[in-house]
A and B are shown apart, each in its own frame.
Chain A
Amino acid sequence: MISAKINGITVSVPEGTTILDAAKKVNVKIPTLCKHPDLPATASCGICIVKVKGSNKMLRACCTPIEQNMEIITHDAEIVDVRRTVIELILSKHPNECLTCGRNGNCELQTLAADFGIRRDAFPNCVPDLKSDISTGTIVLDPRKCISCGRCVTVCQDVQNVWALSFLERGFDTRISPAGDINLGESPCVRCGQCSAHCPTGAIVENCEAPVVWQALQDPEKYCVVQIAPAVRVAIGEAFGFEPGANLTGKIYAALRRMGFNAIFDTNFGADLTIVEEATEFVTRFTTAPDKLPLITSCCPSWVDFMEKFHSDMKDIFSTCKSPQAMVGALTKTYYAQKKRLDPKKMFLVSIMPCTAKKYEIRRSKDMFASGVQDIDISLTTRELARMIKQAGIDFVNLPDEEPDYILGEYTGAGTIFGVTGGVMEAALRTAYDYVTGGKLSHVEFENVRGFSGVKEGTVQVGPHTVKVAVAHGLKNVEYVLNKVKEAKMTGKELPYHFIEVMACPGGCVGGGGQPYGVTDELRAARAEGLYDEDSRCVIRYSHENPHIKQLYSEFLGTPNGEKSHHLLHTHYIARPEYQR
């Protein structure tokens, strides 16, 4: 342990702790614009400077490790003055467009400017004339609003290993862009939206499609249906002052109904269905086609895109199951439409997702038009829904809980944990265990696939078989798992895994790119806890025991992995170039 003094207060922290983190321990908040708790310091904004006795320079608190007996001053008139100058300089290169910005009200730069009481433009405005990039259809990159903090670049390169974003040019002209100055849509971008979740300003935000939804809701010809994803229910509360992790499923149903949706479904139902399809697929491959192992999950559209771009040699062992969102989409405009005698062409299906990539998924291939029309019309992020609820004048906090609509709304505990890393694996194992052994687990929780370590490996005894599994989240962690598989396949050695779950975002969907801003590991853990808690309180915790799933198969689909399933619930993969030109 290292002991030092911050503003005269003694602090004791482990070796290697930065001044910034040590200061938090003694309730001193050092402002910063570039440091994000998730990411290593880029040391680019110059706002967290502090004085250290014995040094004539001011040091950056975000990246300076505290040393024994260091005496640190974090705030004095000179330091505050320098910080103000730096903020004023940053503001001079940032457009004064707060009122029409996607981050109005929760922008870190705006907050800092307010805290420092900045009331005038200290320096002439010098915002460069640059164009927005909306080519992915999922996120909007406005380089004018960029303060070059480097968070998006770090997350894209070092956490996600995608390298779509990088810095271009230098000096005053430095800007973020894909290499070669192409647009994002032509780059390796997998639309995970982690850049938008980490951006301190409005330089990268989700492509807001709420107006299209409002228009559909006004159209008397349209029958509007909505579905909500697992991770949305435990995160949306943050936008309304609830404790992180608060499960607000009933309130969301009620709010959506008030907004005018004709039917409210739950993606968790789709998750249960995915498990039935995927567990069947796994058991079939495990018992009859071991060459098509390990089975790799496919519910995450960013991961699917990543695989198609960077690891297309693995596409044959990918699960062919569509994601829960897409399964609900296909069934709404077929099964539900037939049941209710609705014309799919007049149906408008909206999905509320914690994700920006889902906006891409709904158009990613012709398989997404399984009902004959586009299965899902619009995919909104959690952030967009929170704003729509506010626009609709709904007192969300005091709203009484409501129930979803029949029949694509009922779900089990296994479905709800889809929203967290390890959840898909856990849910699939529960069902697979039953399929193989015909018996029930004494303990349904698989502790070794829970938690936030980047790669989780384990073995599960399923009857006479030992099933080796791996769970990875954060795309950089995938490389480790895939390399082991590739090596085994090349050398003909025993496979390291039979079943692999991948989610692109750190923490899984609870940490998705479309979730409320300010995500940290504590927040991810709280959201995950909200889902695990719901699972533990569910009466039914096996997807295949969902009575509506059983009804769906008997009324409509037939058998899991059957012909109709293949047409509606499964998809194909192709190798895609990393760069489109």
Chain B
Amino acid sequence: MEKPIIFIKDTSLTGDSSREIQTQLLKVAREKGIEDLQVIRVADLGIYDKGVALKICSLDIIYVNVKLSDAEKIIQTTIKEGTPIEDLLLENQAMQTRIVLRNCGIVDPESIDDYISRSGYASVGKCLFDMTPETVIEEMKKSGLRGRGGAGFPTWMKWNLARGSFGDEKYVICNADEGDPGAYMDRSVLEGDPHSVIEGMIIAGYAIGASKGFAYIRAEYPLAIERVQKAIDQAYEKGLLGKDILGSKFSFDLEIRLGAGAFVCGEETALIASIEGKRGTPKPRPPYPSDRGLWDKPTIINNVETLANIAVIFQKGAEWFATIGTDKSKGTKVFAVTGKVKNSGLVEIAMGTPLRDIVFQISGGCFVPENKMIAVQTGGPSGGVIPEKNFDTPVSYEHLIELGSIMGSGGMIVMDEDDCLVDISKFYLKFCVDESCGKCAPCRIGGYQMLAILEKITAGKGTLEDITSIKRIAQGMQKASLCALGQTAPNPVMSTLRYFESEYLDHIEKKKCRAGKCTKLLKFTIVPEKCKKCRLCVTNCPVNAISGDREKGYTIDQEKCIKCGRCFDVCKFEAIARA
């Protein structure tokens, strides 16, 4: 039998700790004569809020809510006899499918030996010695893998175009300029499993005939940079990078380039300009990077997540990969689920999993149990909202586009009834306005003007004509902007207008914000019947807007009030009304 290994992790802070159980398991094992058992505390198992979780690697069994007292039984029944314990098994175990995150939290990211011991770099060997670049691309085509950066362009096609382009030098770039608000999929892979990305890059380089690669990592990810650099150094030491890799005559060098904090540098041509040391602004395409990219040489740019998929495809076969997912979207997708969910974090699901499962099953539903979920934002600032009624939609490139959103790179923000959708879309638009490179007029000025209109609406000064103006500007930006940033910047606004137009009308006509997020629309008043005249609000008001006396009662001067809500928070008798 394989050497028994158990991964162990605390997924919530109740009950016995993983450290105690680890000691107990080892103790029991020794008593029972099992000397070679390894119990490793890992950083992530993709399970949340289920006490101490165990993964018994040889049997591929996951136990949750494990207690100290279960140790005896686990060693005896499962390790010695090989039988699962029904009571401890994780239900809905199939919800997450971990391909990209297969090693995250499990391997030591700073040890190439650890990675190799989990079949790491086996695919490089397979490709270099058993396959030609053409068959590598053919295999990629069979897998159906599409770019995980957002646009979903078939990866094999990108490789094939670059392979077909003439150039005395070609380049592979790993796009690790992750910038969507709240998204950290790429960072987790780079920090948790850097070798898988390097392995993907070597294979990509072999496929297109490149001998040089760049990992373009945003400077805000210091740990990722440190770990990738360490991984590169280790790969060089082992002869997996550099000249004549593993004696195959194929050479590939890899370097890190740092992004300087511009979101637009995630766009291919702007990223290339940034590596070249120029101002990071997009360029018109064609020429496409696969034809004339970095320093005018054929170049492919793949996202971190795309690259992390590649080694597995060659390890387990393209046919296996293609069985996961939907017709047109193969494999898995990692989402960074945040917002009003109980378990926010990274979730990797097979394509085709309904949104509802992600929100309610994996992420545990709403943070405030009695609140109603209203929408999910996918695709970050370039995406759109999907209302609750569409939660049964399977997650795939094609389905999300139908709903007016996009897959994007994997940001997913869940909203409940306490969120104002006008405010949310204003937030995203502001992000795009801040991050616009300023090169082309529709994005540079259109975004600014649209934001000004949203500011107006959320301040209660909007008119119905503003909706027309928004649509007009949106059309101009979508049709006439040069790059995807400008073309998609109006998406959050347009999709909220599509599904939640009534919220906009409430702000404009009734001057009301349902969720109470648009503070300028709020009105605080004192309810005389409930007021106990304790003066707590009076002493807490930062602008002295509350006046009166115990005889006549107290009132809020609306002219002076800055809608900070402190009176509302401090009142112990619910005597302050917020409307």
Cross-chain contact of B441 among A45, A63, A124, A170 (Cβ < 8 A):
A45
The reply to whether the CB of B4 lies closer than 8 angstroms to some CB of chain A is no
CA of A366 to CA of B122, assembled, Å: 76
Contacts A126-B452, A148-B444 hold; do A171 and B435 have CB atoms under 8 A apart? yes
How close is A171's CB to chain B, nearest CB, in angstroms?
4
Cross-chain contact of A58 among B436, B448, B469, B480 (Cβ < 8 A):
B480
Is there an interface contact between A85 and B440, defined as CB atoms closer than 8 Å?
no
CA of A170 to CA of B447, assembled, Å: 13
When distances are taken between beta carbons in the complex, the residues of chain B under 8 Å from A45 are 440-441
Interface stretch (choices B139-147, B236-244, B278-286, B508-516): B278-286
Is there an interface contact between B475 and A82, defined as CB atoms closer than 8 Å?
yes
Interface residues of A in 211-236 (CB under 8 A from B): none
The reply to whether the CB of A49 lies closer than 8 angstroms to some CB of chain B is yes
CA of A83 to CA of B442, assembled, Å: 10
Contacts A43-B482, A172-B436, A174-B444 hold; do A89 and B279 have CB atoms under 8 A apart? no
CA of A122 to CA of B452, assembled, Å: 13
The reply to whether the CB of A129 lies closer than 8 angstroms to some CB of chain B is no
When distances are taken between beta carbons in the complex, the residues of chain B under 8 Å from A57 are 479, 487
The reply to whether the CB of A205 lies closer than 8 angstroms to some CB of chain B is no
When distances are taken between beta carbons in the complex, the residues of chain B under 8 Å from A44 are 439-441, 482
When distances are taken between beta carbons in the complex, the residues of chain A under 8 Å from B537 are none
The reply to whether the CB of A579 lies closer than 8 angstroms to some CB of chain B is no
**Contact pattern, B 253-266, Cβ under 8 Å of A = 1, otherwise 0:** 00000000010000
Is there an interface contact between A47 and B283, defined as CB atoms closer than 8 Å?
no
CA of A383 to CA of B487, assembled, Å: 40
Interface residues of A in 46-89 (CB under 8 A from B): 46-47, 49, 57-58, 60, 63-65, 78, 81-83, 85-86, 89
When distances are taken between beta carbons in the complex, the residues of chain B under 8 Å from A41 are 284
* From A89, A150, A169, residue with most partner B Cβ within 10 Å: A89
When distances are taken between beta carbons in the complex, the residues of chain B under 8 Å from A85 are 442, 446, 472-473, 475-476, 480
The reply to whether the CB of B434 lies closer than 8 angstroms to some CB of chain A is yes
How close is B468's CB to chain A, nearest CB, in angstroms?
11
Is there an interface contact between B279 and A92, defined as CB atoms closer than 8 Å?
no
The reply to whether the CB of B245 lies closer than 8 angstroms to some CB of chain A is no
Interface residues of B in 424-460 (CB under 8 A from A): 433-442, 444-449, 452
Contacts A58-B479, A81-B475 hold; do A171 and B445 have CB atoms under 8 A apart? no
Is there an interface contact between A46 and B480, defined as CB atoms closer than 8 Å?
yes
The reply to whether the CB of A123 lies closer than 8 angstroms to some CB of chain B is yes
When distances are taken between beta carbons in the complex, the residues of chain A under 8 Å from B475 are 81-82, 85
When distances are taken between beta carbons in the complex, the residues of chain A under 8 Å from B437 are 170-171, 174
When distances are taken between beta carbons in the complex, the residues of chain A under 8 Å from B279 are 166-167
Cross-chain contact of B440 among A46, A126, A166, A170 (Cβ < 8 A):
A46
CA of A58 to CA of B486, assembled, Å: 13
When distances are taken between beta carbons in the complex, the residues of chain A under 8 Å from B472 are 85, 122
Contacts A171-B436, A171-B437 hold; do A89 and B449 have CB atoms under 8 A apart? yes
Closest A residue by C-beta to B262: A170
CA of A45 to CA of B440, assembled, Å: 5
CA of A307 to CA of B473, assembled, Å: 48
How close is A386's CB to chain B, nearest CB, in angstroms?
31
**Contact pattern, A 119-156, Cβ under 8 Å of B = 1, otherwise 0:** 00011101000000000000000000001101000000
Cross-chain contact of A86 among B433, B438, B476 (Cβ < 8 A):
B476
How close is A570's CB to chain B, nearest CB, in angstroms?
42
When distances are taken between beta carbons in the complex, the residues of chain B under 8 Å from A167 are 279, 438
When distances are taken between beta carbons in the complex, the residues of chain B under 8 Å from A60 are 284, 482
The reply to whether the CB of A90 lies closer than 8 angstroms to some CB of chain B is yes
**Contact pattern, A 154-179, Cβ under 8 Å of B = 1, otherwise 0:** 00000000000011011111100000
When distances are taken between beta carbons in the complex, the residues of chain A under 8 Å from B479 are 49, 57-58, 78, 82
How close is B480's CB to chain A, nearest CB, in angstroms?
4
When distances are taken between beta carbons in the complex, the residues of chain B under 8 Å from A124 are 449, 452
The reply to whether the CB of A93 lies closer than 8 angstroms to some CB of chain B is yes
How close is A153's CB to chain B, nearest CB, in angstroms?
10
Closest B residue by C-beta to A41: B284
When distances are taken between beta carbons in the complex, the residues of chain B under 8 Å from A63 are 284
The reply to whether the CB of B97 lies closer than 8 angstroms to some CB of chain A is no
Interface residues of A in 87-114 (CB under 8 A from B): 89-90, 92-93
Interface size on A, residues (CB 8 A): 39
CA of A41 to CA of B286, assembled, Å: 12
Closest A residue by C-beta to B472: A85
When distances are taken between beta carbons in the complex, the residues of chain B under 8 Å from A148 are 438-439, 441, 444
Contacts A82-B479, A85-B476 hold; do A93 and B438 have CB atoms under 8 A apart? no
The reply to whether the CB of B491 lies closer than 8 angstroms to some CB of chain A is no
Contacts A43-B482, A57-B479, A85-B475 hold; do A174 and B449 have CB atoms under 8 A apart? no
Is there an interface contact between A46 and B441, defined as CB atoms closer than 8 Å?
yes
Contacts A47-B480, A82-B476, A171-B435 hold; do A90 and B445 have CB atoms under 8 A apart? yes
The reply to whether the CB of B481 lies closer than 8 angstroms to some CB of chain A is yes
CA of A480 to CA of B439, assembled, Å: 31
CA of A60 to CA of B441, assembled, Å: 13
When distances are taken between beta carbons in the complex, the residues of chain A under 8 Å from B435 are 171
Interface residues of B in 395-436 (CB under 8 A from A): 433-436
How close is B441's CB to chain A, nearest CB, in angstroms?
5
When distances are taken between beta carbons in the complex, the residues of chain A under 8 Å from B439 are 42, 44, 148, 150, 174
When distances are taken between beta carbons in the complex, the residues of chain B under 8 Å from A93 are 445, 448
How close is B245's CB to chain A, nearest CB, in angstroms?
38
Contacts A58-B480, A171-B433, A172-B436 hold; do A46 and B442 have CB atoms under 8 A apart? yes
How close is A82's CB to chain B, nearest CB, in angstroms?
5
CA of A172 to CA of B447, assembled, Å: 9
Closest B residue by C-beta to A58: B479
When distances are taken between beta carbons in the complex, the residues of chain A under 8 Å from B473 are 85, 89, 123
Contacts A81-B475, A123-B449, A126-B449 hold; do A43 and B283 have CB atoms under 8 A apart? yes
CA of A172 to CA of B444, assembled, Å: 5
Is there an interface contact between A126 and B448, defined as CB atoms closer than 8 Å?
yes
How close is B540's CB to chain A, nearest CB, in angstroms?
38
CA of A43 to CA of B262, assembled, Å: 20
Interface residues of B in 462-483 (CB under 8 A from A): 469, 472-473, 475-476, 479-482
How close is B285's CB to chain A, nearest CB, in angstroms?
9
Is there an interface contact between B449 and A64, defined as CB atoms closer than 8 Å?
no
CA of A63 to CA of B448, assembled, Å: 26
* From A167, A171, A173, residue with most partner B Cβ within 10 Å: A171
Is there an interface contact between A171 and B444, defined as CB atoms closer than 8 Å?
yes
CA of A45 to CA of B283, assembled, Å: 13
Closest B residue by C-beta to A42: B439
Is there an interface contact between B440 and A89, defined as CB atoms closer than 8 Å?
no
Is there an interface contact between A123 and B284, defined as CB atoms closer than 8 Å?
no
Closest B residue by C-beta to A63: B284
When distances are taken between beta carbons in the complex, the residues of chain B under 8 Å from A173 are 438
CA of A266 to CA of B310, assembled, Å: 75
When distances are taken between beta carbons in the complex, the residues of chain B under 8 Å from A43 are 283-284, 440, 482
CA of A242 to CA of B134, assembled, Å: 64
How close is A383's CB to chain B, nearest CB, in angstroms?
27
How close is A83's CB to chain B, nearest CB, in angstroms?
8
**Contact pattern, B 223-259, Cβ under 8 Å of A = 1, otherwise 0:** 0000000000000000000000000000000000000
CA of A57 to CA of B151, assembled, Å: 14
When distances are taken between beta carbons in the complex, the residues of chain A under 8 Å from B447 are 171-172
Is there an interface contact between B476 and A172, defined as CB atoms closer than 8 Å?
no
Question: What 8 pairs across the A-B complex have the smallest Cβ distances?
Answer: A174-B438, A85-B476, A46-B480, A63-B284, A171-B436, A43-B284, A89-B445, A172-B448
- Could you list some 17 contacts between A and B, CB below 8 A? A41-B284, A44-B441, A44-B482, A45-B441, A46-B441, A46-B482, A60-B482, A89-B473, A126-B452, A170-B436, A170-B437, A171-B433, A172-B444, A172-B445, A172-B447, A173-B438, A174-B439
Given contacts A44-B482, A167-B279, 12 further A-B contacts (CB under 8 A): A44-B441, A46-B476, A47-B480, A57-B487, A85-B480, A93-B448, A122-B469, A147-B441, A148-B444, A171-B433, A171-B437, A172-B444
Show the binding face of B for A, using Cβ within 8 Å: 262, 279, 283-284, 286, 433-442, 444-449, 452, 469, 472-473, 475-476, 479-482, 487
